Structure 1
Amino acid sequence: MADWTDRRTVLTAGFAQIPKGTTLYELSTMVGCVLIIDVEDDVICDASFTFVMEKTSDFLASLLRGKSVANGMAEIVQEVQERFLAPGQGAVLQAIRAAVDRYHERKR
Protein backbone atom coordinates (compact mmCIF):
# COMPACT_ATOMS: atom_id res chain seq x y z
CA MET A 1 0.00 0.00 0.00
CA ALA A 2 1.30 3.44 -0.90
CA ASP A 3 2.16 5.99 1.76
CA TRP A 4 1.03 9.46 0.71
CA THR A 5 2.12 11.25 3.91
CA ASP A 6 5.51 12.32 2.54
CA ARG A 7 4.12 14.06 -0.55
CA ARG A 8 1.82 16.98 -1.06
CA THR A 9 -1.00 15.05 -2.64
CA VAL A 10 -4.74 15.40 -3.01
CA LEU A 11 -7.37 12.86 -3.94
CA THR A 12 -9.95 13.92 -6.52
CA ALA A 13 -12.77 11.97 -8.13
CA GLY A 14 -14.94 12.15 -11.22
CA PHE A 15 -17.84 10.10 -12.52
CA ALA A 16 -19.52 9.51 -15.88
CA GLN A 17 -22.45 7.53 -17.18
CA ILE A 18 -21.67 4.43 -19.25
CA PRO A 19 -23.51 4.34 -22.59
CA LYS A 20 -26.69 2.27 -22.64
CA GLY A 21 -26.61 -0.80 -24.84
CA THR A 22 -23.07 -1.81 -23.87
CA THR A 23 -22.26 -4.91 -21.88
CA LEU A 24 -20.52 -2.71 -19.33
CA TYR A 25 -23.78 -0.80 -18.76
CA GLU A 26 -25.46 -4.06 -17.72
CA LEU A 27 -22.96 -4.36 -14.86
CA SER A 28 -22.91 -0.73 -13.78
CA THR A 29 -24.43 2.48 -15.09
CA MET A 30 -21.55 4.70 -13.94
CA VAL A 31 -17.77 4.65 -14.01
CA GLY A 32 -15.81 6.41 -11.31
CA CYS A 33 -12.24 7.65 -11.45
CA VAL A 34 -10.12 8.52 -8.42
CA LEU A 35 -6.83 10.34 -8.97
CA ILE A 36 -4.09 11.11 -6.48
CA ILE A 37 -2.24 14.17 -7.73
CA ASP A 38 0.96 15.78 -6.47
CA VAL A 39 0.03 19.45 -6.07
CA GLU A 40 3.62 20.66 -6.39
CA ASP A 41 4.12 19.40 -9.94
CA ASP A 42 0.53 18.60 -11.06
CA VAL A 43 1.43 14.96 -11.80
CA ILE A 44 -0.83 11.95 -11.28
CA CYS A 45 0.75 9.67 -8.66
CA ASP A 46 -1.90 6.97 -8.77
CA ALA A 47 -5.39 6.24 -10.06
CA SER A 48 -8.25 3.84 -9.57
CA PHE A 49 -11.47 3.09 -11.42
CA THR A 50 -14.77 1.46 -10.45
CA PHE A 51 -14.63 -1.52 -12.77
CA VAL A 52 -15.73 -5.01 -11.75
CA MET A 53 -12.54 -6.49 -13.14
CA GLU A 54 -9.54 -5.20 -11.22
CA LYS A 55 -7.22 -5.70 -14.21
CA THR A 56 -9.07 -2.96 -16.11
CA SER A 57 -8.54 -0.48 -13.29
CA ASP A 58 -4.88 -1.52 -12.94
CA PHE A 59 -4.25 -1.06 -16.67
CA LEU A 60 -5.86 2.38 -16.79
CA ALA A 61 -3.98 3.44 -13.66
CA SER A 62 -0.70 2.42 -15.30
CA LEU A 63 -1.54 4.65 -18.28
CA LEU A 64 -2.13 7.67 -16.03
CA ARG A 65 0.71 7.42 -13.51
CA GLY A 66 3.30 10.11 -14.13
CA LYS A 67 1.10 12.12 -16.51
CA SER A 68 0.90 15.87 -15.96
CA VAL A 69 -2.45 17.62 -15.67
CA ALA A 70 -0.90 21.09 -15.67
CA ASN A 71 -1.61 21.90 -19.32
CA GLY A 72 -4.82 20.04 -20.07
CA MET A 73 -5.49 16.43 -20.94
CA ALA A 74 -4.20 16.01 -24.50
CA GLU A 75 -1.53 13.47 -23.53
CA ILE A 76 -3.97 11.50 -21.38
CA VAL A 77 -6.69 11.48 -24.05
CA GLN A 78 -4.25 10.25 -26.69
CA GLU A 79 -2.88 7.49 -24.45
CA VAL A 80 -6.34 6.23 -23.46
CA GLN A 81 -7.67 6.38 -27.03
CA GLU A 82 -4.67 4.44 -28.38
CA ARG A 83 -4.40 1.81 -25.65
CA PHE A 84 -7.80 1.33 -23.95
CA LEU A 85 -9.81 -0.38 -26.69
CA ALA A 86 -12.95 -1.25 -24.76
CA PRO A 87 -16.59 -0.19 -24.62
CA GLY A 88 -17.03 2.82 -22.41
CA GLN A 89 -13.80 4.52 -23.51
CA GLY A 90 -15.62 7.85 -23.78
CA ALA A 91 -17.10 7.46 -20.30
CA VAL A 92 -13.65 6.69 -18.89
CA LEU A 93 -12.26 9.86 -20.47
CA GLN A 94 -15.22 11.86 -19.19
CA ALA A 95 -14.66 10.56 -15.63
CA ILE A 96 -10.95 11.40 -15.81
CA ARG A 97 -11.77 14.86 -17.15
CA ALA A 98 -14.27 15.44 -14.31
CA ALA A 99 -11.63 14.49 -11.72
CA VAL A 100 -8.99 16.72 -13.35
CA ASP A 101 -11.46 19.63 -13.60
CA ARG A 102 -12.31 19.24 -9.91
CA TYR A 103 -8.58 19.34 -9.11
CA HIS A 104 -8.06 22.54 -11.11
CA GLU A 105 -11.10 24.19 -9.47
CA ARG A 106 -9.56 23.50 -6.06
CA LYS A 107 -6.18 24.92 -7.12
CA ARG A 108 -7.67 28.25 -8.28
Structure 2
Amino acid sequence: MADHAGKKTVLTAGFAQIPKGTSLYEVSTMIGCVLIIDMDHDVICDASFTFVMDKTSEFLVALLIGKSVAGGMQEITQVVQERFLAPGQGAVLQAIRAAVERYHEKKM
Protein backbone atom coordinates (compact mmCIF):
# COMPACT_ATOMS: atom_id res chain seq x y z
CA MET A 1 0.00 0.00 0.00
CA ALA A 2 1.41 3.37 -1.02
CA ASP A 3 1.91 6.07 1.59
CA HIS A 4 0.48 9.38 0.45
CA ALA A 5 0.57 11.06 3.87
CA GLY A 6 3.71 13.08 3.11
CA LYS A 7 2.36 14.57 -0.11
CA LYS A 8 -0.51 16.84 -0.98
CA THR A 9 -2.53 14.26 -2.91
CA VAL A 10 -6.11 13.88 -4.02
CA LEU A 11 -8.05 10.88 -5.23
CA THR A 12 -10.18 11.35 -8.32
CA ALA A 13 -12.25 8.87 -10.31
CA GLY A 14 -13.70 8.54 -13.77
CA PHE A 15 -15.90 5.97 -15.48
CA ALA A 16 -16.72 5.02 -19.06
CA GLN A 17 -18.98 2.54 -20.81
CA ILE A 18 -17.39 -0.36 -22.64
CA PRO A 19 -18.58 -0.67 -26.25
CA LYS A 20 -21.25 -3.32 -26.84
CA GLY A 21 -20.11 -6.22 -28.96
CA THR A 22 -16.65 -6.46 -27.41
CA SER A 23 -15.63 -9.45 -25.31
CA LEU A 24 -14.87 -7.08 -22.44
CA TYR A 25 -18.51 -5.91 -22.45
CA GLU A 26 -19.60 -9.47 -21.66
CA VAL A 27 -17.67 -9.30 -18.38
CA SER A 28 -18.51 -5.72 -17.36
CA THR A 29 -20.32 -2.79 -18.94
CA MET A 30 -18.22 -0.06 -17.30
CA ILE A 31 -14.56 0.69 -16.64
CA GLY A 32 -13.63 2.64 -13.56
CA CYS A 33 -10.38 4.52 -13.11
CA VAL A 34 -9.10 5.93 -9.82
CA LEU A 35 -6.10 8.26 -9.88
CA ILE A 36 -4.11 9.60 -6.95
CA ILE A 37 -2.51 12.85 -8.05
CA ASP A 38 0.21 14.89 -6.35
CA MET A 39 -1.31 18.38 -6.40
CA ASP A 40 2.03 20.14 -5.97
CA HIS A 41 3.43 18.63 -9.16
CA ASP A 42 0.26 17.55 -11.08
CA VAL A 43 1.69 14.03 -11.38
CA ILE A 44 -0.06 10.68 -11.05
CA CYS A 45 1.29 8.88 -7.95
CA ASP A 46 -0.91 5.81 -8.11
CA ALA A 47 -3.89 4.43 -9.99
CA SER A 48 -6.40 1.61 -10.04
CA PHE A 49 -8.81 0.17 -12.58
CA THR A 50 -11.89 -2.05 -12.31
CA PHE A 51 -10.67 -4.84 -14.55
CA VAL A 52 -11.33 -8.46 -13.61
CA MET A 53 -7.80 -9.51 -14.53
CA ASP A 54 -5.15 -7.99 -12.26
CA LYS A 55 -2.44 -7.92 -14.96
CA THR A 56 -4.48 -5.49 -17.05
CA SER A 57 -4.79 -3.06 -14.16
CA GLU A 58 -1.15 -3.51 -13.13
CA PHE A 59 0.03 -2.79 -16.66
CA LEU A 60 -2.07 0.37 -16.99
CA VAL A 61 -0.99 1.59 -13.54
CA ALA A 62 2.67 1.15 -14.52
CA LEU A 63 2.03 3.21 -17.67
CA LEU A 64 0.41 6.05 -15.71
CA ILE A 65 2.57 6.48 -12.62
CA GLY A 66 4.76 9.54 -13.01
CA LYS A 67 2.75 10.99 -15.90
CA SER A 68 1.86 14.67 -15.71
CA VAL A 69 -1.73 15.84 -15.95
CA ALA A 70 -0.74 19.52 -16.02
CA GLY A 71 -0.96 19.93 -19.78
CA GLY A 72 -3.95 17.67 -20.37
CA MET A 73 -4.06 14.17 -21.79
CA GLN A 74 -1.54 14.21 -24.66
CA GLU A 75 1.23 12.19 -22.98
CA ILE A 76 -1.21 9.74 -21.40
CA THR A 77 -3.19 9.25 -24.62
CA GLN A 78 -0.04 8.57 -26.59
CA VAL A 79 1.35 5.96 -24.22
CA VAL A 80 -1.99 4.16 -23.84
CA GLN A 81 -2.58 4.08 -27.61
CA GLU A 82 0.94 2.77 -28.25
CA ARG A 83 1.16 0.19 -25.47
CA PHE A 84 -2.37 -0.89 -24.42
CA LEU A 85 -3.50 -2.91 -27.41
CA ALA A 86 -6.70 -4.42 -26.04
CA PRO A 87 -10.44 -4.12 -26.63
CA GLY A 88 -11.85 -1.17 -24.75
CA GLN A 89 -8.83 1.07 -25.27
CA GLY A 90 -11.13 4.02 -26.00
CA ALA A 91 -13.16 3.37 -22.86
CA VAL A 92 -9.97 3.23 -20.78
CA LEU A 93 -8.89 6.59 -22.18
CA GLN A 94 -12.34 8.06 -21.54
CA ALA A 95 -12.30 6.89 -17.90
CA ILE A 96 -8.83 8.38 -17.40
CA ARG A 97 -9.91 11.60 -19.13
CA ALA A 98 -12.97 11.88 -16.85
CA ALA A 99 -10.79 11.48 -13.75
CA VAL A 100 -8.25 14.06 -15.00
CA GLU A 101 -11.01 16.53 -15.91
CA ARG A 102 -12.58 16.15 -12.46
CA TYR A 103 -9.16 16.86 -10.94
CA HIS A 104 -8.75 20.07 -12.96
CA GLU A 105 -12.31 21.23 -12.17
CA LYS A 106 -11.74 20.91 -8.43
CA LYS A 107 -8.20 22.31 -8.47
CA MET A 108 -9.28 25.63 -9.97
The two structures share one fold, judged by TM-score above 0.5: yes
- Secondary structure of residue in 1 paired with 2:33: strand
Give me the whole-angstrom Cα distance separating, in 2, the residues matched to 1:77 and 1:2.
25
Q: 2:5 matched to which residue of 1?
A: 5
Structure 1 alignment gaps of length 5 or more: none
Q: 2:105 matched to which residue of 1?
A: 105
Indicate whether 1:40 and 2:40 are aligned.
yes
Question: So what's the TM-score if we normalise by structure 1?
Answer: 0.99
Give the 5 Å matches for 1:43-54.
Answer: 43-54=43-54
Letter in 2 for 1:75: E
Structure 2 alignment gaps of length 5 or more: none
Letter in 1 for 2:89: Q
Q: 1:60 matched to which residue of 2?
A: 60
Large movers: runs of 4+ above 2 Å? none
Q: 1:75 matched to which residue of 2?
A: 75
Letter in 1 for 2:9: T
Deviations along 1:45-95, whole A, 9 cap, x unmatched?
011100000110000000000000001110000000000000000000000
Give me the whole-angstrom Cα distance separating, in 2, the residues matched to 1:54 and 1:48.
10
Letter in 2 for 1:76: I
Q: How many residues align?
A: 108
Shift of 1:3: 1.1
